[in-house]
C-alpha cells in the first residue's frame, strides 16, 4: 500500500474508497471535515464529489456509503507540486 498523505488538521475522519482497496492506494479517500460556518462536509479525493450538511451523523454515513462504491483514482500530481 502506498504511504498516505498527511491528514489536514480540519479532517476529522477519512474513509478508504473502493479504489483504495483494489489498488492498495491509501491516498484514495473520502475526507470528512468540520467546517466553521456550516457543520460538516465530505469530499472524495478520487472523483471529486462531495457534500455539506449541518448534521455530523448524516455526513459520516453519506461519506462512508460513497467510499464503499467509488472506484475513481486520485489525479496524479506533478513532481513540481502541480496537478497534471
pTM of the model: 0.78
Burial degree of 40 (CB within 10 A; 0-12, 13-18, 19+): buried
Q: Which helix (H) or strand (E) holds 14?
A: strand 11-16
| Length reported for the chain | 84
Burial degree of 39 (CB within 10 A; 0-12, 13-18, 19+): middle
Which has more confidence, 3 or 69?
Answer: 69
In the block, which residue shows the cell 466553521? Answer: 36
> pLDDT by residue (tens digit) across 7-26?
778 899 999 999 999 988 88
Amino acid at each position: 500500500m502506498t504511504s498516505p498523505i498527511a491528514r489536514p488538521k480540519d479532517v476529522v475522519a477519512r474513509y478508504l474508497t473502493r479504489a483504495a482497496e483494489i489498488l492498495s492506494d491509501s491516498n484514495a479517500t473520502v475526507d470528512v471535515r468540520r467546517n466553521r460556518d456550516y457543520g460538516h462536509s465530505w469530499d472524495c479525493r478520487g472523483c471529486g464529489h462531495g457534500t455539506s450538511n449541518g448534521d455530523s451523523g448524516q455526513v459520516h454515513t453519506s461519506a462512508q456509503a460513497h467510499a464503499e462504491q467509488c472506484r475513481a483514482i486520485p489525479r496524479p500530481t506533478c513532481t513540481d507540486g502541480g496537478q497534471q
